[in-house]
Structure 1
């Protein structure tokens, strides 16, 4: 019986990046826990790369790996190393050296969430314990709206680099160009409604799809939901 051949191919994947700017791993641990608390299902087992370009002398990759994995992220590798010593320490910790391409930052001291092309920190607004939260107008790049324990209605559009999060449903009476995360605390029955889907990411109860996967459903009014751990699209009339 012939042996099965293994085929290796080069391809591109969209990964999130945790960018750290000091050696305080205790602070990093606290920031990750704070970020996860906003959307625990979305970040669970998310693959990440750590960017250390701001840390010229950092070599404690064993403890860094432990902290990342203790917070239920999957650490793929390290980027931004600046010396042979750092590269050696990365490899000795059993991690890969990653060349950073087009990535999204999900944690930065002090725990700022931004898209790579947006230099300003996200302006975060958290709404709690109201029947339904209604926000009128454009959600601009760098803004984050989180409707805790309720639904979120956006009377406008969600711009590139913006993020809308709800524990319940999300209704956008305009275009989604940024990120929409419904069922952020694990509510799999939550849905996302929009008049025009051009999103960077949509997620429901931790099940997500990126822009590249959304193209066949783009530029249409959509009702998005989860069935059997799969994102389902129902075009609105």
Structure 2
């Protein structure tokens, strides 16, 4: 007679249960629903992403079975990315709710204070930046800097061109072309230790060498825009 052995019985794993709480938001629509949905769209536009991923309780307590457009309310919320996990304050027997995919309500839960929806802040414009050139701008070179001022520690040769979104500062002779205020900055100016330019321009208004004030040429000068006219001043 052979001996028999019984298989070893492994212990069953322990079921671990712990608690975790989430904040569910409650939406309480009001009649007329078309206006309420328009107000919701406006709020979503001002606070993009506020409802994303958040569980929502839909409270129908301020509506009744005859509310116009009630049947399309739940689909309209789903189209807007609002995830409804529970419905309260209404009755499944209302005819308008017959086609709703009614989620199971959660037991318990306490009401909290009304939550203020934060508005998205407008992105800050980047601060103007200054381009500093420590060497002269040679003939044939073209410098374009739309983000702010251009400061040139040397000269700008004849046949060179410097363009800036802000002002242009030339610490040597300006013999080429200087175009300031590109992009619509009429407050920009041009400064130079010796005005001998082929052309100067601010915000699209320009003057050629023949049109410049002869009393300011070959001297320290600044150029500004007054209305639609370039004006030339001594650099003092």
Alignment TM-score, normalising by the size of structure 1: 0.45
Alignment TM-score, normalising by the size of structure 2: 0.45
Q: Compare CA radii of gyration and give the structure with the larger one.
A: 2
- The structure that is helix-richer by fraction is 1
- The structure that is strand-richer by fraction is 1
Q: Which structure has the higher relative contact order (CA within 8 Å, separation 6+)? A: 1
